[in-house]
Copies of this chain bind each other. A is one copy, B any other.
Amino acid sequence: MAKKKDKVEGTDDGGGRAEGTTAVTTAAPFTDALRVGEGFVLAGVDPRSTPAFDGDKEAGKAALAAADEELDHLQEQLFAMSRAGGSRRVLLVIQGMDTSGKGGIMRHVVGSVDPQGVELTAFKQPTAEERRHPFLWRIRRALPGPGMIGVFDRSHYEDVLVVRVHDLVPPAQWKRRYGTINTFEKGLVEDDVTLVKVMLHISPDEQKARLQERLDRPDKHWKYNPGDLDERARWDDYQEAYQALLERCSPEHAPWYVVPADRKWYARLAVQQLLLEHLRGLDLRWPAADFDVEGEKERLTGL
């Protein structure tokens, strides 16, 4: 595929950022603080910590709201550039244990973006048709088009999580998948996809409290599934499976980010900021008109 990302002639509007923020594109504090690197140990991350942010809940909520405008602006530029032939797109992957807050991210972070620029896919247990295909088949069909922000609520990583924990395929098969995934994601990056892979990291105590709430409130019963407790009983196996994928699928071009998620407000802020920092890195701008602006103005006057 032709790479057009640098071929879109642009207008430097000088306003790529919301007023009041500093235009330092190299500073990416959340990206730096949350990236999985050499020697990463999941068990060493405190789910109640708030890396790269030293404010409290109130300050966190204010920071989230304050960044909406810039996120909106950058998303619109990403979309606009695709109309002028740009091929850049973003894929946000969200993984986490049950009750880790995936739905809240969808609602409060993804939900703040113009729905015309978002393609959200929630991956459930594979259907019969999906099971007849290689595990990446349904993933490829859900990839975002140029200019779009794709969002995966669960993803191909379930194929080395639930599948591994429950022995749904022989070990030799899931073990091969780490390499398959790395090759697949390398292809995505070469195809102008910016990957932002996020694991929401909660503690077992926090999960217990959240499940308890779903049981206590009749308006939350529909979110509860007795199977959730069976999964909870395998907590350590899941943590081990997460540790393996974080370690094995974090190459420099597509690392994982582990977001402490016991505090919902922090997790939402962190995912928003990760998205924002990645968008800032894309050198987005308004595409130049591909028509005769003055000529069109004249035509319009007569109509």
Question: In the complex, are the beta carbons of A303 and B218 less than 8 A apart?
Answer: no
Question: In the complex, are the beta carbons of B115 and A221 less than 8 A apart?
Answer: no
The listed residue (B219, B296, B300) touching A13 by CB distance below 8 A is B219
Question: In the complex, are the beta carbons of B114 and A107 less than 8 A apart?
Answer: yes
13 contacts between A and B (CB under 8 A): A11-B218, A11-B219, A13-B218, A13-B219, A106-B116, A110-B115, A111-B111, A208-B300, A215-B296, A215-B297, A218-B289, A226-B299, A229-B303
Q: How many copies does the complex hold?
A: 2
Note all chain B residues with C-beta closer than 8 A to A225.
Answer: 291
Question: In the complex, are the beta carbons of B110 and A120 less than 8 A apart?
Answer: no
Note all chain B residues with C-beta closer than 8 A to A297.
Answer: 212, 215
Question: In the complex, are the beta carbons of A221 and B116 less than 8 A apart?
Answer: no
- Is A232 in contact with chain B by the CB < 8 A criterion? yes
Q: How far is the CB of A52 from chain B (nearest CB, A)?
A: 26
The contact size tier of chain A is 35 or more
Bound complex: CA A287 to CA B103 (Å): 19
Interface string of A99-126 (1 = CB under 8 A from B): 0000100110011011110101010000
Apart from A221-B289, A225-B291: 9 A-B pairs, beta carbons within 8 A = A13-B219, A107-B114, A107-B116, A111-B113, A111-B114, A211-B300, A212-B300, A218-B288, A224-B291
Note all chain B residues with C-beta closer than 8 A to A232.
Answer: 303
Interface string of A72-97 (1 = CB under 8 A from B): 00000000100110000000000000
Note all chain B residues with C-beta closer than 8 A to A116.
Answer: 103, 106-107, 120, 122, 153
Q: How far is the CB of A200 from chain B (nearest CB, A)?
A: 16
Chain B residue with Cβ nearest A80: B222
- Is A2 in contact with chain B by the CB < 8 A criterion? no
Question: In the complex, are the beta carbons of A84 and B120 less than 8 A apart?
Answer: no
Question: In the complex, are the beta carbons of A291 and B226 less than 8 A apart?
Answer: yes
- Is A30 in contact with chain B by the CB < 8 A criterion? no
